[in-house]
Amino acid sequence: MSLNKLTIHELLPRLAKKEIAAADLARDVAAQIEAVDGRLHAFLEWDREELLAAARGVDEQRARGEALGPLAGIPIGIKDVLNVKGHSCRCGSKILQGYVAPYDATVIAKLRAAGAIPFGRLNMDEFAMGSSTENSAFGVTRNPWDLERIPGGSSGGSAAAVAAGEAPATLGSDTGGSIRQPASLCGVVGLKPTYGRVSRFGLVAFASSLDQIGPFAKDVTDAALVLGAISGRDPNDSTSVPEPVPDYTKALTGDVKGMKLGLPKEYFISGMDKEVETSVRAAVDKLASLGAEIVEISLPHSDYGLAVYYIIATAEASANLARFDGVRYGSRAKDAKDPLDMYGRTRGAGFGPEVTRRIILGTYVLSSGYYDAYYLRAQKVRTLIRRDFMEAFKKCDAIVTPTTPSAAFKIGEKAEDPLTMYLSDIFTVNVNLAGICGVSVPCGFTNLPELPIGLQILGKPFGEETILRVAHAYEQVTDWHKRRPVILEEQPELPMSE
Amino acid sequence: MDYEICIGLETHVQVKTRTKVFCACPTEFGAEPNSNVCPVCLGYPGSLPVINEEAIRKTVLAGMLVEAKIARYSKFDRKNYFYPDMPKNYQISQYDLPLVIGGTVEYDFGVVDKKRLGETKVCHLTRIHLEEDVGKNSHFERTSGVDFNRAGTPLMEIVSEPDLSSSDEAFAYLTALKEILIYGGISDCDMEKGQVRCDVNISVRPRGQKELGQKVEIKNMNTFSGVRHAVDYEAQRQIETLRRGGKLVQETRRWDDVAGVTESMRTKEHAHDYRYFPEPDLLPVSLSEEWLAEVRKLVPELPSAKRKRMVERYGIPPYDAGVLSADAALADYFEAAAKVVKNPKSVANWICNDLLRDLAEAKLAIGQSPVKPPHIAELVDLVDSGKISSKMAKDVFVEMFKTGKAPAAIVAEKGWVQVSDTGAIGKFCDEVIAANPKIVADFKAGKEVALNALTGQVMKLSKGKANPAAVRDALRGKLTG
Amino acid sequence: MKRRGHADNFLESVHCFRFTCPLMSPDQQTPKIDVPYLAQLARISLNAEQVEKFGAQLQQIVAYVEKLKEVNVEGIEPTAHATPITNVFRPDEPRTPGDPAPFLKNAPQQANNLFVVPKIVE
């Protein structure tokens, strides 16, 4: 059995008992990447020798009887938006060509402290702006379930890698749905923690008040393990919250009896893909059959979320991306005659169209005369959106919705029309605006072609234990998460390493 | 048409902290370029700011020193513009909710004209806020180089109302402001190190008109004398322009110290639209009464108040009070001695005339002085009680400074006790009278000055130890008896 | 067909908008976006084709976000931060000195420990 097919919680006891070595796992992971990534293009970079050396290091430590962290020997793929010391960090963009990270993001340091092996650079929409990974300057990643389709975005590479068995787990980032949406489209688990749960230090910022880092995994237990390793207050991130980090695996009781699950009426509407609706409703019924009570709730300002998001996120991004100017790192236009020329041509050539559009829009909504009408107003509506959720959480323990309105679309299908592309995020953006937590778990497939459908479970601030509990309970009584994409079936079984 | 000038100053002052305002890089001056830097102050992707509490404390303290209102709730904002010395191409500053609101600075015209010492005026402040400094540009033939060591240094921006109406007032205000900030330990205000920079907003209007005239900004002045000259020139330029019937435009100008003129800076394309919005990476500042009470304990007596008090309590002239209060440590030194003598004026004289001179020559600070306050007090008492003459005291002081010993000990050691014993003096007088019959005859003939010569001889004979006053009395007594 | 801005749900509202009013005329509610001015502020060089293409796309997006005008925000405070904490400070303690080399190595152009740029003319 190729070790890359196992979950982390299956691997850990075998590693602990020395039934398998970390080096064996690393070799199987490497072999899978070599076998499939040529077609998938999830990884922009990865270093086989570095991965194997790190794994050997863990084995040596274990042999010496040293104390090891809770994720010792587990390779975790890293979205190209996180600083890993000594490695590139291009954020899917040409403008960061040549940049070598001089420091580790806090989550990377935490993974290392847990004994995990952060590795590789996973493909993404440029600067996390997109819902399909088509905005990457380095080519799109393909959905392992159908190579003609997008894996979602912006963390498309991170989602695809887990779905295709290229890594036991990966890290992505979520600003408007960039973990949950690709997780849904790739049939894996993706979790966006509460804003402030995980440190953003070292995460290249898109929208500072919305960004969070989170795990992709094969199942809920694995997601809980990785979440526990990366969470916690960081003195380097003022917005990280001093909320204690529980053992998230303890929440996975399998019991949802008596829990109240809210269904927002605004999220179950005509116009949604019929198959998506059917799968999600079936999932809700399943949870009801486990003893959960389903209550109808209302989130009246849901309709405005996209508009609020595209004002606030672009405004913050326009400032966050100003630093990419060719002065201190990254690419620089040649033969500039003065700094103004250098800025204009460096950024004009370095940024792709979506990033450029969003920077211009963000500049617009902050500009003199428009600030009150757009940015200020959007922040007020945001308050109302958050209030909707807080009110709803008085009536229920968790909220259940579809993750996306439809399954993965074809590469190129929406690329020309930004506004239509933005639609992919309608069920996810409000979660970031409110700062609450959300997880997407597989809940079905479309018929022909067979494409994953995701169920989104939302919790109140620092309610990760609740949503993990609901997600896990559902997972225990279904098989969706055990299905593997065709791309994997085509590979012969790899022999167990020595 | 008579015009009056309205000047408002925006003074940027580097706050004296060990580390930068949003990261833990040291703020030391003069380090190798780009050595005191980190991902945060270099604007690296993924970096985040964290507020230095001491920078907040010192800004609040400054607010207390100018008796301003301290905002209980305050926040930071992004000020967006591009420049090579800007690591993020936005500056973290404060826009609508600054830490300090209002305030006043009392300044004394004595700094522009000694004769006007004691004549004071008040300038109101609009606000004080905290922000980060930018890097430093150097220019070469075809390129420029940027050093980011300075980027991220905490900067206090002190905005005055346009209350100042002359270059003298501007100079006096800046001097007073600098004194307050040094006194409070808020900044060293070292102009050479570029720790204080000033933007001058100046307009002119017909005397009596309420509305302000067209404002012109002169940016980045880094000496007070420069401000003075620039104000004089610019005010004149504006008045002459208006008198000729010309129009003034809102613009930014630069002071050319060499040519002695202000010149228009090449206006970059668009007037700055800074697109301020609240800084999402920093949480707001909400100051509690307890926290503020702790800061209030750090408020020292301000120089102007101290001067007034010294004059009143010790009866020293305002000029001396000015010299002694220039430095908090010096003021403390003076008071330590002045408190224990009946003649504080004498203490002031010793310090102002002798001690400061010797310290300067030896390149020592008052804290390193070999002469301690009790020594000065003792010296003053020795002279006042007649134990030594004031001439001898000068020699004693030289020894005090050289050896650090107390004056009484030196006097005992060297045997420099003033002889006041009438018997001893009488003997000296007799000797001198006997040896100088001609001078004696001159005195008896009515020439008063002859007494000086005889006194001088007695002093010589006594090796300077005789009490001159006693000698004169004794001589007079013997010659007129 | 429902009027733009009056859809029952947000999925429909965007669809509605897309199919009934594909091109927003500049003189209707939304002011015309000055793309060249904004590109200048944002220091991004655009060619004429990009100015036109982005202009049209952005005009549509801005027309879409106009729907926020429907919301009654009277008395509502803007959300500055998702979490209601204040006073997150750091003590005035210097970090251990690190190696500045990696920072200068990343510079596209550097000399004598300075980041070099084309000459700045004030």
Ordered per-residue pLDDT tens for chain A, 498 residues: 699 999 999 999 999 999 999 999 999 999 999 999 999 999 999 999 999 999 999 999 999 999 999 999 999 999 999 999 999 999 999 999 999 999 999 999 999 999 999 999 999 999 999 999 999 999 999 999 999 999 999 999 999 999 999 999 999 999 999 999 999 999 999 999 999 999 999 999 999 999 999 999 999 999 999 999 999 999 999 999 999 999 999 999 999 999 999 999 999 876 788 999 999 999 999 999 999 999 999 999 999 999 999 999 999 999 999 999 999 999 999 999 999 999 999 999 999 999 999 999 999 999 999 999 999 999 999 999 999 999 999 999 999 999 999 999 999 998 777 877 887 789 999 999 999 999 999 999 999 899 999 999 999 999 999 999 999 999 999 999 999 997 766 544 444 443
Is C10's Cβ below 8 Å from some Cβ in A? yes
ω into residue A158 within 30 of 0, thus cis? no
Q: Tell me the C-alpha to C-alpha distance, in Å, between residue B178 and each of A227, B158, B174, B219, B476.
A: 52, 11, 6, 19, 57
| pLDDT at C24 exceeding the cut of 70 | no
Percentage of chain A with pLDDT > 70?
A: 97
Residue B269: the pLDDT is 44
Residue B347: partners with Cβ closer than 8 Å, 6 or more residues away: B334, B337, B338, B341, B376, B377, B380
Q: Which regions in chain B score pLDDT beneath 50?
A: 269-270
Pick the catalytic residue from A79, A192, A218, A414. A79
Of residues B19, B141, B283, nearest to C81 (C-beta) = B283
Given the DSSP bridges, would you call strands B104-108 and B73-74 parallel, antiparallel or unpaired?
unpaired
First to last CA, chain A: 13
Tokens in use for A390?
């807080």
DSSP code per residue over A274-331: HHHHHHHHHHHHHHHHTTPEEEEE--TTGGGHHHHHHHHHHHHHHHHGGG-SSSSSS-
Four-residue CA torsion sign, B10, B11, B17, B23: positive
Is B417's Cβ below 8 Å from some Cβ in A? no
Beta bridge partners, A28, equal none
Partners of chain A (3+ Cβ pairs below 8 A): B, C
Given the structure tokens 């196992």, which residue do they identify? A6
**Residues B346, B334: Cα–Cα separation, whole Å:** 11
- The runs of H, that is alpha helices, within A194-304 are 220-230, 274-289
CA distance C108 to chain A (A): 6
- Under a CB-based contact definition with an 8 Å cutoff, are residues B471 and B455 in contact? yes
Gyration radius from chain C CA atoms:
24
**Residues B129, C60: Cα–Cα separation, whole Å:** 40
Residue A451: the pLDDT is 97
**Residues C94, B399: Cα–Cα separation, whole Å:** 44
| pLDDT at C17 exceeding the cut of 50 | no
What is the CB neighbour count within 10 angstroms for residue B226? 17
Is C108's Cβ below 8 Å from some Cβ in A? yes
Residue B480: the pLDDT is 82
Verify whether the Cβ–Cβ distance B146 to C103 is below 8 Å.
no
| pLDDT at C14 exceeding the cut of 70 | no
CA distance C120 to chain A (A): 6
Of residues C14, C60, C109, nearest to A423 (C-beta) = C14
Verify whether the Cβ–Cβ distance A209 to C81 is below 8 Å.
yes
**Residues B37, B24: Cα–Cα separation, whole Å:** 9
CA distance B306 to chain C (A): 30
Residue A440: partners with Cβ closer than 8 Å, 6 or more residues away: A179, A180, A181, A183, A184, A189, A190, A191, A403, A454, A455, A456, A457
Is C98's Cβ below 8 Å from some Cβ in B? yes
Q: Which residue of chain A is at minimal alpha-carbon distance from B50?
A: A238
Of residues C89, C119, C122, nearest to B265 (C-beta) = C122
**Residues B353, A360: Cα–Cα separation, whole Å:** 67
Does residue C121 or residue C74 have the better pLDDT? C74
Residue C97: the pLDDT is 79
Residue B162: the pLDDT is 96
Is A272's Cβ below 8 Å from some Cβ in C? yes
Verify whether the Cβ–Cβ distance B45 to A83 is below 8 Å.
yes
Instruction: Give, for A49, the enclosing helix (H) or strand (E).
Output: helix A48-63
Residue C29: the pLDDT is 60
Verify whether the Cβ–Cβ distance B55 to C104 is below 8 Å.
no
**DSSP symbol at B417:** P
Question: With 0-12 CB in 10 A as exposed, 13-18 as middle and 19+ as buried, what is B53?
Answer: middle
Pick the catalytic residue from A2, A132, A154, A184. A154
Residue A418: partners with Cβ closer than 8 Å, 6 or more residues away: A354, A357, C57, C61
| pLDDT at C7 exceeding the cut of 90 | no
| pLDDT at C3 exceeding the cut of 50 | no
* pLDDT, tens digit, 9 for 90 and up, residues A278-305: 999 999 999 999 999 999 999 999 999 9
Residue B192: the pLDDT is 86
Given the DSSP bridges, would you call strands A398-402 and B90-93 parallel, antiparallel or unpaired?
unpaired
Residue B468: the pLDDT is 84
Question: With 0-12 CB in 10 A as exposed, 13-18 as middle and 19+ as buried, what is B169?
Answer: buried
Buried b vs exposed e over B26-43: b needs ≥16 C-beta within 10 Å? bbebebebbbbbbbbbbb
Q: pLDDT band for position C27 (50/70/90)?
A: very low
**DSSP symbol at B383:** H
Instruction: Give, for B379, the enclosing helix (H) or strand (E).
Output: helix B373-384
Q: Is A178 a catalytic residue?
A: yes
Tokens in use for B382?
């020795």
Is C45's Cβ below 8 Å from some Cβ in A? yes
What is the CB neighbour count within 10 angstroms for residue B375? 25
**Residues A338, B144: Cα–Cα separation, whole Å:** 10
**Residues A297, A9: Cα–Cα separation, whole Å:** 36
**Residues B195, B29: Cα–Cα separation, whole Å:** 10
**Residues B194, B190: Cα–Cα separation, whole Å:** 7
**DSSP symbol at A405:** S
Question: With 0-12 CB in 10 A as exposed, 13-18 as middle and 19+ as buried, what is A85?
Answer: middle
DSSP code per residue over B79-96: EE---TT-SSSEEEE-SS
Tokens in use for A19?
């039934």
Is A209's Cβ below 8 Å from some Cβ in C? yes
- Under a CB-based contact definition with an 8 Å cutoff, are residues C82 and A432 in contact? no
Collapsing DSSP states into helix, strand and coil, what is residue B178? helix
Nearest to B266 by CA among B254, B249, B248: B254
Residue B392: the pLDDT is 87
Residue B186: the pLDDT is 97
Residue C118: the pLDDT is 97
**DSSP symbol at A135:** T
Question: With 0-12 CB in 10 A as exposed, 13-18 as middle and 19+ as buried, what is A186?
Answer: buried
CA distance A174 to chain B (A): 15
Four-residue CA torsion sign, B433, B438, B439, B445: positive
